[in-house]
Amino acid sequence: MSGVTQEDFEWTPRRRRAATLLTCAWLGYLIPICVSVATEPPGAPMLVFAIVGLAAYVVFFVRLIHVGMQRPFRLAAPYALIGLIAVGVLLMVPIGSTWRYAFPYYLVAILPGQLPPRWWIPSQVTTLVATTVVAVGYGDRGVSLIGYVASVAAVALFTSMFFWLLRTMVLLRMARAEMARLAVSEERLRIARDLHDVLGQRLAAVALLSDLAGRLAGSDPERARQQSAEAGRLAREALEEVRATVSGFRDSSLTGELSTAQALLAAAGIGCVLSAPDAGSVPAPLADVAGWVVREGVTNVVRHSRAGTARITVRSADPVVVEVADDGHGDATSPYGNGLTGLRERVTALGGAVHTERVDGWYRLWAELPVTAPGGRVAAAAGAS
């Protein structure tokens, strides 16, 4: 990722000015160069060329620093970089060995901040090779040559590591910000999914009980009162669960869901066959998801199936199997809606699977929840950790 800008560094104008001044401190090494030119001046034409060249070099250098602070690691000022290199090479003519020794240090120090990271090693190696060739051409040999090239290589390594660490810190900050954004998005999805699951069944039950109470108001007032009271109880439960869902602390009780499912099916005039003799022995994390299977399955039966009978089965072996079947008009080939999609996400998170099929006139929705999670962990322990 080379598209790092000054905003990613979170620099205030004061910090940016301080970083620019600190980087421009490299220009302090021009002082001995200027002293050398003043004490041992070349001929008049070469002296003018040296002064103009040094001024142009400073302009190019400051330009690169300024642009590099705004668009680092992007080759944002290629002409300034080419001009800096060209002027630096030409200054070897009027100034001589003093500049020849200093210029490679400037070059290896400024390149990492101006080039994309994939170019750092090739550019630094090229600079070191050119430095060695020029030094040998000027007669450097033996220990002096090795020491000079080694010092330039050390500066190249130091500056490259500095810019690498700086860039890594910026990218880590960007990654943390992206993770925070994704966490917020995931939490929104969780809340949306939970609200759908909570309100879907509860509001369907309230609507059914309210309609039933209205129909019974004239013929059976006592039963109508009971249905109205039940609708009020479910509405209050839905309100409590919505509050708990937003806080992220709601669990779904399997036994409670089975009881609610029977009441809901009875209110809808659908017969219920319940087979869950050992539902209370299902491990807690699996019982929570199993409750969601019952809730989603029964909600779909009431709202969509136009069934006469529903069958709910819970088997607590390994894997735990929770099944909701009905003799209505469910289509096993239709795409999953929001409820079944959210249910599948919950089940697969525990290493299980959700299945649907239509066979012998019955539409079946069932989930398999392994007691032993992938990797040999017990699902109960995994969910509690």
Select from 140, 172, 204 the last residue of a domain: 140
Q: What is the pLDDT along the chain (385 residues), one digit of tens a residue?
A: 445 555 555 556 676 677 777 777 778 778 888 888 888 888 888 888 888 988 998 888 888 887 877 777 788 888 888 998 898 889 888 888 888 888 888 888 888 888 888 888 998 999 999 888 888 888 888 888 888 889 889 988 988 898 888 788 777 777 776 776 776 677 677 667 766 666 666 777 778 878 888 888 878 888 888 888 888 887 887 777 766 665 554 545 688 788 878 877 887 788 889 988 888 788 877 888 888 888 888 888 887 778 889 999 998 887 899 999 998 876 656 666 667 887 888 888 888 899 888 888 889 999 999 887 554 344 444 343 3
Supply the pLDDT for residue 323: 92
Q: What pLDDT does 322 receive?
A: 92
Query: Looking at the domain assignment, is residue 150 inside a domain?
Result: no
CB burial class (10 A; 0-12, 13-18, 19+) of residue 129? exposed
Domain finish residue from 140, 167, 185: 140
pTM of the predicted model over 0.85: no
Range of the domain at 345: 254-385
Residue 378's pLDDT is: 46
Residue 196 in domain = no
- pLDDT for residue 380: 44
- The confidence score (pLDDT) of residue 311 equals 92
Q: Give residue 337's pLDDT.
A: 65
- Does the residue 77 lie in any domain? yes
> According to the model, what pLDDT value does residue 45 have?
86
Q: What is the CATH number of the domain that holds 357?
A: 3.30.565.10
Does 186 fall in a domain? no
Residue 224 lies in a domain: no
Residue 248 lies in a domain: no
Predicted pLDDT of residue 324: 92
For residue 154, the model assigns a pLDDT of 92
Sign of the torsion formed by the C-alpha atoms of 257, 262, 266 and 271: positive
Number of domains in the chain: 2
Task: Give the number of other CB atoms < 10 A from CB of residue 212.
Answer: 20
Residue 192 within any structural domain of the chain: no
